[in-house]
């Protein structure tokens, strides 16, 4: 009995093998997608008819008798189950590789066959030979257990790649999967671009792994195939028949079978091909390989990468300035994964936009314009798919200012405006219903005739554009006239008469018109043969109601009425009183109806026609006050008499007046440095002025100056200078504003003029006492006519200059001692701390001891040099400024200062101590010389005495 196991399908066949050229050979062949068949047997008989087939549960399976070729088919085999075949006789078994899909166990019928027992892998097993779970690439060793038996080795080739399918495909990638065989070590894939015949070889694909591969096909079609390929991809010489060798790629297993990240079925091998070209046909062939390199039967599949294409591009809504586009995308996936570039090209301009949906609203278009619209699908890498394209005209803009220009009994005139249409369709519908009367014109006006009198019509106008486009409609309503009097006009009206004109809806000339005139004083009537009449002898300011009937052949038509006041009389005796911003007006009127009159006042500012004020009084009031006027401005007032708030007197009463000018509110004074001048500044008064007068006085001195006008419209500040004044003097100033020969009250202020350098004194300082290292300097006050004297600085010099300069104020005693300058400031006196000499005449006010080693501000009053020659000068200050460095020195450039001339030179005597020392030294030196000389003389004499025995008495 031979058990056989099939895979996914339902049949195994028992086939006698003729290819081995031996009697009694048998093979079990899987049909369809059968993965393997299992074989086992008991002691075989000498012939091989199948006597029974049972499944693993012992149930009998249906099988067909052997056909002419000796094939027996078993039907209804359950996938994964073992059917058992029973034969009549068997012979010793030999295992031989027949093909990649079946194993042929063969044996011979001999006398000793019944003594053999065959085993597979595990030897003898219950007296059956079992080729159990045979998979591609596995060698099965069948060994008889008896010594005389023979053994056979069966090596199966790798089975065919099966289950190859396209699991996923989109516009740039595809996922291929296939089922795995347990004895297959690796696979390799040959990927072909069918159009360009370019090849890529993807090698070393492990079973149950997941791969990501980018083949990188070239963009050209240069790679061609020159020979046909055999079924397994090799020609007779076992060489690749393609002229160009394929590019070889060896990817890494991204997710091994044991990986936790593996997302697909672990029993499948998966290859994801990336970066493929859309709308391209590819062929993939997968070859199985055993560990020894033996290849099995390949399996191929073809697939085409989806093309991204925009289609069914259409306009679903369009107007004069916008349109709405919709389209479809050829990819079956959600269209929202793409973005879309839209190019809109008009007659003179174009623009692009990008959207993420399959619809878009395009705005800011020009009406009646042809637009070329192209929509590209965009991939995530920025590449573009096949665009969709359409041409569309925008609609013309609707007409504007659609109006009825005239109406008659039979016609209605229409007019409109349009910027972009040359043809218009107008429909007239009676009472808004019924069949319309349609007219077409290229003008922007039309007269619709053939209408019924006294009927309401609806008129619709539609602009027509290129390519049959039409814009939005506009509507206006009108009613034709009845045959009646209409358009009564008051051509002219006066205080005692009026002239009327009118029209008739019927153009016939044989009408007589009856005119009825009514007022509070009574009524009367008159006839006219024309469409007009002049009424006389009326009362001023009276209301008249006038009705006109058309009459023809004593038949009275539809009347029309009008009402009109006769004009009131003019006002007189106008009187006006004013202030700066208001005017009060009074007047008179003598009409009988004046108690019902109102008065309209127009107040116009002269030279400014746009500045008009209107006031309307109450009934019978003959006075008014006008406010918010501009100060100092000229005005003209016109007073119109009104009756019925409509009719006015023919000519107004009028009069001119001027408001009072606004005074200068205040002003302030500014001094000009080192000039006897005052700068006066004030804000220009509100309103208008013709100029100013400035009165300046001090004591008995007075001056009156006239100035030009200024305007407050630009918020400007008026500025003027009053010159030729005295320094440091108080002045009383008054400013008057002028306008319309009117003078305002003055603005007053008291101002003090500025200061400048004090006048230089005529004389020079006086040195009154002398010592060997100090002097006393006396000087008089400077004249204070240029401003009060704030300080004095005493300057010493050993130089020859006659006058000091401002530069000497920065030199100190230390600078003098270092030789940096021969001139320096030795003492500084402020007038608040001045030291007046006691008992001096009025001409000498100040006395300074030079050399007393005192310090004033930054100046040191050091001792003078004996035997030195010094001269003195005094600087007087009306404004003294010190350096910002904080050293206490005077900034001469910023101070107001003048100098006296240098005094005559003074020579200091020698230091008395030096003189005494010199005298003492001389005396002492003389004594020393005498002593030395005497000693020398004494020694010599003594020596001579010894030599000559001379006594001292001889010396005497």
Residue 219 tokens read as 């963009």
What is the DSSP secondary structure assignment for residue 906, as one 8-state letter? Answer: E
pLDDT number for residue 552: 65
Beta-strand relationship, 323-329 and 339-345: unpaired
88, 47 in Cβ contact below 8 A?
yes
**Per-residue pLDDT band at 103 (split at 50, 70, 90):** very low
The pLDDT assigned to 760 comes to 92
Contacts of 872 (CB under 8 A, 6+ apart): 764, 765, 767, 775, 777, 794, 795, 796, 797, 850, 902, 903
Contact 80/5 with Cβ under 8 angstroms? yes
Please, which pLDDT band fits residue 949 given cuts at 50, 70 and 90?
A: very low
Instruction: Count other C-beta atoms under 10 Å from residue 796's C-beta.
Output: 28
Say how far apart CA 892 and CA 609 lie, in whole Å. 61
CA distance 258 to 89: 48
CATH number of 400-479: 2.60.40.10
What pLDDT is recorded for position 725? Answer: 92
Q: Determine the pLDDT at residue 439.
A: 93
CA 276 to chain centre: 40
The Cα–Cα gap between 404 and 390 comes to: 40
Q: How many whole angstroms separate alpha carbon 350 and alpha carbon 371?
A: 9
- Gap between the Cα atoms of 3 and 81, Å rounded: 9
Mean pLDDT of 615-637: 92
Alpha carbon distance, N-terminus to C-terminus of the chain: 188
Report yes or no: 324 and 361 within 8 Å, Cβ to Cβ. yes
Dig out the tokens for 241 from the structure: 């028949």
Write down the mean pLDDT value for the chain. Answer: 78
Q: Please check the confidence at residue 767 and state whether its pLDDT lies above 70.
A: yes
Report the SS3 class of residue 913.
helix
Residue 79: its pLDDT value, please? 41
**pLDDT score of 379 more than 90:** no
Which segments of 296-363 are extended strands (E)? Answer: 299-304, 310-318, 323-329, 339-345, 350-355, 359-362
Residue 609: predicted pLDDT: 78
| pLDDT at res. 512 | 87
**pLDDT tens-digit readout, 501-514:** 999 877 767 778 99
pLDDT at 909 over 70: yes
Q: Of the given ranges (52-66, 179-193, 379-393, 794-808), which has the lowest mean pLDDT?
A: 52-66
CA 646, 573, 631 angle in degrees (round to 5)?
Answer: 85
Entry field: residues in the chain = 956
pLDDT the model gives residue 260: 54
CA torsion sign for 565, 567, 568, 574 is positive
pLDDT at 342 over 90: yes
Query: Rounded CA gap, 246 and 200, in Å?
Result: 5
Confidence of residue 99 (pLDDT cuts 50, 70, 90): very low
Pairing state of beta strands 350-355 and 310-318?
A: unpaired
Kindly state the percentage of the chain with pLDDT values over 70. 74
Query: How far is residue 493's CA from residue 383's CA, in Å, rounded to a whole number?
Result: 84
Contact 437, 407 (CB under 8 A): no
Show the tokens assigned to 803.
């006058």
Tell if the pTM clears 0.85, that is, is over it.
Answer: no
More confident call, 688 vs 140: 688
Q: CATH class for domain 766-913?
A: mainly beta
Q: Among 54-68, 323-337, 418-432, 767-781, whose mean pLDDT is lowest?
A: 54-68
Q: Which residues pair with 707 in a beta bridge?
A: 692
pLDDT at 266: 74
Least Cα distance to 629 among 653, 600, 605, 663 occurs for 605
- The values of phi and psi at residue 443, to 5°, are -90, 175
Position 132 pLDDT exceeds 60: no
∠ at Cα 187 (183, 188), nearest 5°?
160
The topology (CATH level 3) of 572-658 is Immunoglobulin-like (2.60.40)
Whether the per-residue pLDDT at 396 is higher than 70: the answer is: yes
Average pLDDT over residues 436-442: 93
Give me the DSSP letters along 343-401. Answer: EEE-SS-EEEEEESSSEEEE-SPPTT-EEEEEEEEE-TTS-B-BPEEEEEEPPPPPPEE
Distances (CA, A) of 174 to 211, 269, 300: 12, 14, 15
Q: Is 356 left (phi over 0), alpha (psi -120 to 50) or beta?
A: alpha
pLDDT band at residue 598 using 50, 70 and 90 as cut-offs: very high
Return all residues near 819 (Cβ < 8 A) that are at least 6 apart.
none
- Res. 46 pLDDT band, cuts 50 70 90: very low
Q: Tell me, what's the pLDDT at 102?
A: 39
pLDDT of residue 261: 58
Which of 482, 485, 492, 433 is closest to 460 using CA atoms? 433
- The segment with the largest mean pLDDT, out of 1-5, 590-594, 655-659, is 655-659
Instruction: Give residue-wise pLDDT tens across range 214-263.
Output: 887 775 444 333 333 333 333 333 434 345 678 899 898 988 776 655 55
Q: Alpha-carbon distance 687 to 666, whole Å?
A: 16
Give the model's confidence band at 74: pLDDT under 50 very low, under 70 low, under 90 confident, else very high: low
Residue 743 predicted with pLDDT over 80: yes
Higher pLDDT, 194 or 150: 194
How far CA 338 is from CA of 164, 279, 330, 383, in Å, comes to: 30, 17, 11, 11
Check the CA dihedral 159-165-168-169 and report its sign.
Answer: positive
pLDDT, residue 447, reads 95
Residue 385: its pLDDT value, please?
80
Residue 60, CA atoms < 13 Å, CB-side half-sphere: 7
Strand partners, 522: 519
CA atoms 660, 661, 666, 671: torsion sign? negative
Average pLDDT of span 508-534:
89
> Is it the case that residue 139 has pLDDT exceeding 60?
no
- Contact of 584 with 615, CB cutoff 8 Å: no
Residue 424 vs residues 332, 427, 469, 471: alpha-carbon distances, Å: 46, 10, 11, 10
Mean local confidence (pLDDT), 78-91 = 48
Q: How confident is the model over 530-539, as pLDDT tens digits?
A: 899 999 999 8
- Collapse the DSSP code of 527 into the 3-class scheme (helix H, G, I; strand E, B; otherwise coil) and give the result: strand
Q: What CA dihedral angle connects 877, 880, 882 and 887, to 10 degrees?
A: 50
What lies within 8 Å, CB to CB, of 57 at 6+ separation is none
* pLDDT given for residue 160 in this prediction: 77
Which token pair is 852? 């007393």
Q: Does domain 485-565 have CATH number 3.40.720.10?
A: no
Q: Which CATH class is domain 667-752?
A: mainly beta
* Tokens of residue 850, six digits: 């030079």
Residue 763 CA from chain centroid, whole number: 78
Structure confidence at residue 64 (pLDDT): 57
Q: Which residue has the higher pLDDT, 228 or 448?
A: 448
- For residues 421 and 786, give the distance between their C-alpha atoms in angstroms, rounded to a whole number: 87
Greatest mean pLDDT range, 326-335, 719-728, 903-912: 719-728
pLDDT-based confidence at 573, cuts 50/70/90?
very high
Distance CA 118, CA 93 (A): 7
H or E stretch including 927? helix 912-948
Q: What is the pLDDT of residue 229?
A: 35
Q: Of 97-101, 420-424, 655-659, which range is least confident? A: 97-101
Question: What is the percentage of the chain residues whose pLDDT exceeds 90?
Answer: 43
Q: How far apart are CA 404 and CA 402, in angstroms?
A: 7
Q: What is the mean pLDDT of residues 909-930?
A: 76
- Which of the four CATH numbers 2.40.128.720, 2.60.40.10, 1.20.1250.10, 3.50.50.60 does domain 160-215+247-254+264-306 have? 2.60.40.10
Chain centroid to CA 9: how far? 69
- Please say if the pLDDT value at position 585 is more than 70: yes
pLDDT for position 259: 65
- The structure tokens listed for 419 are 């910027």
- Taking residue 921's Cβ as centre, other Cβ atoms within 10 Å add up to 10
Domain boundaries, the chain: 12-106, 160-215+247-254+264-306, 310-394, 400-479, 485-565, 572-658, 667-752, 766-913
List the single range of 192-201, 222-231, 353-362, 849-858 with lowest mean pLDDT.
222-231
Q: What is the DSSP string of 578-618?
A: E-SS-EEEEEE---TTGGG-EEEEEEEETTEEEEEEEEE--
Q: How far apart are CA 4 and CA 457, in angstroms?
A: 97
Q: Give the 3-state secondary structure of residue 578.
A: strand
Per-residue pLDDT averaged across 329-345, rounded?
A: 78
- Cα separation of 577 and 587, whole Å? 12
What span, in angstroms and rounded, lies between the C-alpha atoms of 263 and 256?
A: 11
CATH number of 310-394: 2.60.40.10
**Whose CA is closest to 358, among 324, 380, 335, 374?**
335
DSSP 458-515: EEEEEEE-GGG-B---EEEEEEPPPSBEEEEEEEEE-SS-EEEEEEESS--S--EEEE
Tell me the average pLDDT across 27-39: 45
**Rounded to a whole number, what is the largest CA-CA distance in the chain?**
206
**pLDDT of 485:** 87
125-139, 515-529, 628-642, 667-681: segment of lowest average pLDDT: 125-139
pLDDT of residue 917: 66
Mean pLDDT (whole number) for 575-604 = 92
């Amino acid at each position: 009995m031979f058990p056989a196991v099939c895979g996914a399908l339902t049949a195994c066949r028992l086939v006698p093998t003729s290819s081995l050229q031996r009697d009694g050979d048998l093979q079990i062949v899987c049909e369809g997608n059968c993965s393997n068949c299992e074989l086992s047997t008991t002691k075989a008989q000498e012939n091989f008819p199948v006597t029974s087939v049972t499944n693993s549960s012992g149930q009998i399976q249906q099988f067909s008798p052997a056909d002419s070729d000796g094939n027996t088919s078993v039907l209804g085999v359950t996938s994964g189950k073992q059917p058992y075949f029973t034969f009549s006789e068997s012979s010793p078994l030999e295992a031989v590789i027949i093909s990649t899909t079946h194993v042929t166990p063969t044996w011979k019928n001999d006398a000793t066959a019944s003594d053999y027992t065959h085993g597979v892998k595990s030897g003898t097993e219950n007296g059956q030979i079992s080729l159990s779970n045979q998979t591609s690439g596995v060698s099965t060793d069948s060994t008889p257990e008896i010594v005389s038996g023979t053994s056979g080795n069966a090596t199966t080739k790798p089975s065919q790649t099966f289950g190859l399918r396209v699991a996923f495909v989109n516009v740039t990638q595809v996922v291929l999967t296939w089922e795995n065989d347990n004895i297959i070590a690796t696979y390799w894939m040959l990927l072909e671009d069918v159009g360009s015949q370019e090849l890529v070889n993807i090698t070393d694909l492990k079973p149950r792994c997941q791969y990501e591969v980018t083949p990188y096909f070239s963009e050209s079609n240069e790679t061609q195939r020159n020979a046909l390929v055999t079924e397994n991809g090799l020609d007779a010489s076992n060489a690749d028949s393609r002229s160009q060798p394929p590019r070889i790629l060896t990817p890494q297993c991204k997710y091994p079978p044991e990986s936790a990240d593996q997302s697909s079925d672990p029993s499948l091998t998966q290859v994801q091909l990336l970066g493929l070209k859309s709308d391209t046909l590819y062929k993939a062939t997968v070859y199985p390989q055993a560990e020894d390199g033996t290849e099995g039967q390949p399996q191929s599949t073809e697939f085409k990468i989806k093309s991204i294409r925009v289609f069914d591009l259409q306009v679903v809504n369009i107007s004069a300035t916008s349109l709405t586009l919709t389209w479809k995308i050829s990819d079956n996936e959600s269209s929202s994964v793409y973005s879309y570039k839209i190019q809109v090209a008009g007659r003179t301009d174009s623009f692009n936009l990008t959207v993420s949906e399959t619809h878009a609203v395009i705005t800011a278009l020009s009406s009646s314009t042809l637009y070329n619209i192209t929509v590209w699908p965009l991939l995530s890498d920025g590449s573009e798919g096949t665009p969709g394209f359409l041409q569309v005209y925008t609609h013309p803009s609707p007409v504007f200012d659609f109006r009825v220009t005239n109406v008659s009994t039979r016609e209605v005139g229409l007019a409109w405006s349009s910027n972009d249409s040359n043809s218009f369709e107008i429909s007239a519908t009676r009472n808004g219903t019924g069949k319309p009367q349609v007219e077409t014109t290229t003008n922007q006006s039309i007269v619709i005739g053939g209408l019924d009198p006294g009927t309401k019509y609806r008129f619709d106008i539609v602009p027509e554009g290129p390519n049959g486009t039409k814009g939005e409609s506009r509507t206006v309503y009108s009613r034709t006239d009845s045959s009646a009097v209409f358009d009564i006009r008051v051509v002219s009206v006066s205080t005692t008469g009026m002239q009327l004109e009118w029209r008739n809806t019927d153009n016939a000339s044989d009408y007589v018109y009856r005119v009825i005139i009514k007022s509070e004083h009574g009524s009367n009537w008159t006839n006219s043969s024309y469409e007009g009449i002049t009424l006389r002898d009326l009362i001023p300011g009276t209301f008249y109601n006038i009705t006109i009937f058309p009459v023809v052949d004593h038949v009275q038509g539809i009347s029309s009425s009008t009402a009109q006041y006769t004009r009131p009389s003019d006002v007189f005796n106008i009187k006006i009183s004013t202030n700066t911003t208001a005017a009060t007006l009074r007047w008179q009127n003598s009409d009988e109806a004046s108690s019902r009159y109102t008065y309209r006042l127009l107040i116009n500012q002269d030279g400014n026609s746009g500045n008009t004020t209107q006031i309307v009084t109450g009934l019978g009031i003959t006075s008014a006050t006008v406010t918010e006027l501009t100060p100092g401005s000229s005005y003209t007032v016109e007073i119109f008499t009104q009756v019925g708030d409509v009719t006015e007197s023919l000519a107004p009463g009028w009069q001119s007046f001027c408001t009072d000018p606004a005074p200068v509110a205040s002003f302030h004074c500014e001094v000009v440095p080192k000039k006897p001048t005052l700068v006066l500044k004030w804000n220009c008064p509100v309103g208008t002025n013709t100029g100013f007068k400035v009165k300046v006085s001090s004591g008995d001195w007075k001056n009156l100056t006239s100035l030009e006008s200024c305007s407050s419209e630009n918020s400007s500040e008026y500025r003027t200078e009053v010159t030729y004044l005295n320094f440091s003097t108080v002045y009383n100033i008054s400013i008057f504003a002028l306008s319309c020969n009117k003078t305002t009250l003055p603005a007053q202020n008291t101002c003090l003029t500025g200061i400048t350098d004090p006048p230089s004194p005529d004389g020079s300082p006086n040195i009154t006492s002398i010592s060997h290292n100090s002097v006393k300097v006396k000087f008089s006050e400077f004249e204070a006519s240029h401003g009060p004297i704030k300080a004095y600085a005493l300057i010493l010099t050993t130089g020859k200059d006659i006058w000091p300069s401002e530069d000497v104020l920065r030199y100190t005693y230390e600078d003098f001692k270092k030789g940096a300058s021969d001139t320096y400031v030795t003492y500084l006196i402020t007038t608040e701390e001045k030291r007046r000499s006691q008992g001096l005449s009025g001409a000498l006010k100040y006395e300074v001891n030079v050399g007393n080693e005192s310090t004033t501000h930054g100046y040191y009053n050091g001792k003078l040099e004996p035997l030195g020659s010094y001269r003195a000068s005094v600087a007087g200050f009306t404004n003294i400024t010190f350096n910002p460095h904080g050293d206490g020195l005077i900034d001469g450039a910023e101070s107001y200062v003048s100098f006296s001339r240098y005094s005559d030179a003074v020579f200091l005597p020698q230091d008395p101590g030096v003189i005494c020392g010199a005298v003492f030294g001389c005396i002492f030196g003389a004594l020393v010389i005498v002593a030395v000389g005497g000693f020398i003389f004494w020694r010599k004499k003594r020596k001579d005495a010894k030599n000559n025995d001379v006594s001292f008495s001889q010396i005497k």
